[in-house]
Amino acid sequence: MMHPDFFETDRHSIQLGAGAALLGGFAKDIGQDLIRHIHDLSAHTPFRHMETRGGKRMSVAMLNCGQFGWISDRSGYRYTALNPLTGKAWSALPPLFLDLATRAADVVGFRDFLPDACLINRYQPGARLSLHQDMDEQDRTAPIVSVSLGLPAIFLWGGTQRTVRPVRHQVFHGDVAVWGGTSRMIFHGIDALKNGYHPAAGHFRFNLTFRKTR
């Protein structure tokens, strides 16, 4: 259950739908630290632009850490225990990441959230993520926790069908969102990133998504 007076005591946070909340600035104090970890992880597993099933290069660059990683190629979208480029396991989830994901889920009423995957998306100006549903996880009762870092972006929040015109929400460095319950299957996306400069992230936006895939 949603903590009953959370949205009255925290004016930075809003409830987006059933089981879904945007926690404004929830990770701001560790934002720099999170970005430092992203840079360290990218030395082991470089960001790359994956191909969609249809063969298009995604404008968002991605890397994975955790027990499972999300990959996309000509055969489709799936989670794998090994990085197909190296044949090796993904880097472990840094404890700072895991602790943040569990704390954020708890605020929205999802106790003991233990993600087994973290997808890190990197947006450069112009990069976007078109409306989609997250359907590649077996456990759809677990929430997804997402963390915005660096440049601001416009988050698109649609409906359970693609035809619903999305509501736009601006998300900023340190904002955390939790998506669970019936909101788990909502169509969502990110509008083309505007150019800008962020002191901790330069010309990029990063987004971490924590998932329990099975």
For residues 133 and 78, give the distance between their C-alpha atoms in angstroms, rounded to a whole number. Answer: 14
User: In the 8-state DSSP scheme, what is residue 182?
Assistant: G
Residue closer to Fe ion (CB basis): 76 or 202 = 76
For ligand MD3, the binding residue among 209, 210, 212, 213 (CB under 6 A) is 209
Q: Which conformational region is residue 93 in: left (phi greater than 0), alpha (psi within -120 to 50 degrees), or beta?
A: beta
Residue closest to ligand MD3 when measured from CB atoms: 207
Element spanning 159, H or E: none
Backbone angles phi, psi at 22, to 5 degrees: -105, 115
Kindly state the tokens that stand for 9: 């005591």
Establish if 91 lies at the interface with ligand MD3 (CB under 6 A). Answer: no
For residues 13 and 25, give the distance between their C-alpha atoms in angstroms, rounded to a whole number. Answer: 9
For ligand MD3, the binding residue among 104, 105, 190, 201 (CB under 6 A) is 190
Rounded to whole angstroms, the maximal C-alpha distance in the chain is 49
Q: According to CB under 6 A, which residues from 120 to 139 bind ligand MD3? A: 121, 129, 134
Residue closer to Fe ion (CB basis): 186 or 201 = 186
Tell me: is residue 197 an annotated ligand-binding position: no
Contact code string over 144-173 relative to ligand MD3, x by CB under 6 A: x-x---------------------------
Residue closer to Fe ion (CB basis): 36 or 181 = 181
For Fe ion, the binding residue among 62, 66, 94, 134 (CB under 5 A) is 134
Kindly indicate which of the ranges 24-32, 87-95, 103-111, 178-186 contains the residues binding ligand MD3, using the contact rule CB under 6 A.
Answer: 178-186
**CA 16 from centroid of its chain's CA atoms:** 16
Cα–Cα nearest to 186, from 143, 125, 153: 143
CB of 136 to Fe ion, least distance (A): 10
For residues 122 and 204, give the distance between their C-alpha atoms in angstroms, rounded to a whole number. Answer: 7
- C-alpha radius of gyration, the chain, whole number: 16
* Residues 67 and 117: beta-carbon distance below 8 Å: yes
Residue closest to Fe ion when measured from CB atoms: 134
Give the annotated binding-site residues for substrate. 70, 77-79, 136, 162
Note the residues at the interface with ligand MD3 (CB under 6 A).
119, 121, 129, 134, 144, 146, 177, 179, 183-184, 186, 188, 190, 207, 209
Note the residues at the interface with Fe ion (CB under 5 A).
134
